[in-house]
Amino acid sequence: MTRNVLVIGLGLIGGSIALSCQKAPDTKVFGYDYNEKTRAQAAKLKIVHEVVDDVLKAASMADIIIFGTPVNATIEWLEQLKKWPLKKNVIVTDTGSTKGLIMEKGAELRECGITFIGGHPMAGSHKSGVQAAKAHLFENAYYMLTPLHNEKEDNINALEQLLKFTLAKLVRVDAHEHDHMTAVVSHFPHLVAASLVHQLDAEQKRYPMTSLLAAGGFRDITRIASSNPLMWKDIVLQNREELLSQLNLWLAEMNRVKSLLIGLDQSAIEEYFATAKEVRDQLPISTGVFYSTYDLYVDIPDYPGVISELTGYLAEEKISITNIRVVEAREDLFGILVISFQNADDRDKAEKCISKKTNYEMYVS
């Protein structure tokens, strides 16, 4: 018997999930997006088996409905869902990066006899839109599921059996726990990155050369500040309480640093950085909440054609790169050339390739 899956929202996340679901046996994947051009692109790129214009009709045939839409939009969709003629045992899930408000709406759906299981694939890309969708986008990334209390195990298992084709690491967590953890490792760091950029902007008005020197470590630390501002406005508002809590902890930590500087205790200051280094070095290497880049720093000599020569070696071995840049201000970086890859495997292959062809020193980040 064929299982019908409907993906609503065919951007990067929804499109990538749809592609992975196509690998599931006895499964037909339908797709809908409110944007007509996106629907046309999805059909051309074969993101789903069939693109639909009538979302209500497609939903009535679906066994599993996946919302690949922003949280605010998903909440609106879920409200409409209460009135739709759905299958009795339909399972509904989402992909939103905050779960509190979503799960409140999920509880309302349960009262209407609809099964809702929250979801959050913790991966992404520096690109967006359906044209950037990839079946392997979530491979080895954490895919967090937040079922309601006392959700039937059969329902969770049915969803996991479909999502296992994303090749992600499926884990179950409480919605509050999810929002707290993502505030710590994703949402709050975005606030910090944005604040550092604002501080730079103020400084460069007095010292214009400051921004030129920010091409090294500062650029890497604040990379996430380039994320979609509308998306981050929604995330900050949706996870407001957790972020306020993290902000209070951050202010306390900054007061601790201030005390260290005022006290001029050299050993305490060194210990502060040593502890940070130890904790940072022990962090696991995995796909981040929205997107991660896997960087290789290469200390190349300065002669014409060296970059094209290096990228030529990678092309020969069919190793794809996502970005390449020359670092001018690199007081705290090793190597002048930074090559970014989509995953750790490609970066490791590139490192081996360059080692075979050259004697350049390299550093992995």
The pLDDT tens digits of the residues spanning 129-147 come to: 888 888 888 887 889 999 9
Q: What pLDDT score does 249 carry? A: 95
Q: Residue 363, Cα to own-chain centre: how many angstroms?
A: 24
Task: Supply the pLDDT for residue 141.
Answer: 83
Report the candidate in 111, 2, 122, 15 with the shortest Cα–Cα distance to residue 66.
15
* CATH 1.10.3660.10 correct for 178-281: yes
More confident residue, 21 or 327: 21
What local confidence, expressed as pLDDT, does residue 212 receive? 76
Q: What separation in angstroms does the CA of 135 have from each of 22, 165, 183?
A: 9, 9, 27
pLDDT the model gives residue 53? 94
**CA 144 → CA 5, 114, 174, 201, distances in Å?**
19, 20, 9, 37
> What pLDDT was estimated at residue 220?
75
* Tens digits of residue pLDDT in 305-353: 888 899 999 999 999 888 888 765 434 444 468 888 878 889 999 999 9
Boundaries of CATH 1.10.3660.10 in the chain? 178-281
- Rounded Cα distance, 121 and 170, in Å: 9
Checking if the pLDDT of 257 tops 80, the result is yes
Residue with the two structure tokens 């969803």: 159
Query: What pLDDT, on a 0 to 100 scale, did the predictor assign at position 116?
Result: 98
pLDDT tens digits along 278-303? 998 887 655 444 445 688 888 877 67
Q: Which of 74, 167, 60, 170 is CA-nearest to residue 116?
A: 74
pLDDT score of 81: 95
pTM value is 0.74
**55-59, 115-119, 211-215: which range is least confident on average?**
211-215
For residue 44, pLDDT over 50 is answered with yes
CA angle 32, 12, 94 (to 5 degrees): 65
Q: Where in the chain is the domain with CATH 3.40.50.720?
A: 3-173
CA 326 – CA 335 distance, rounded (Å) = 9
Considering 72-86, 220-234, 285-299, 337-351, the range whose residues carry the highest mean pLDDT is 72-86
What is the third-level CATH fold of 3-173?
Answer: Rossmann fold (3.40.50)
Q: Where in the chain is the domain with CATH 3.30.70.260?
A: 294-364
User: Quick one: average pLDDT of 249-256?
Assistant: 95
- Flag whether pLDDT at 55 surpasses 90: yes
Please give the mean pLDDT across all residues of the chain: 88
* pLDDT at residue 216, rounded to an integer: 65
| Residue-level pLDDT at 304 | 82
The answer to whether residue 51 scores a pLDDT higher than 50 is: yes
What pLDDT was estimated at residue 293? 64
Share of the chain above pLDDT 90, in %: 59
Q: What is the mean pLDDT of residues 5-33?
A: 96
Average pLDDT score over residue span 227-233: 82
Distance from C-alpha of 215 to C-alpha of 193, rounded to nearest angstrom: 15
Q: What is d(CA 162, CA 172) in angstroms, rounded to the nearest whole number?
A: 15
More confident residue, 64 or 239: 64
CATH 3.30.70.260 fits 294-364, yes or no: yes
Query: Residue 209: what residue type?
Result: M
Per-residue confidence (pLDDT) for residue 125, from 0 to 100 = 62
CB count, 10 Å around CB of 200? 16
For residue 248, give the 3-state DSSP assignment.
helix
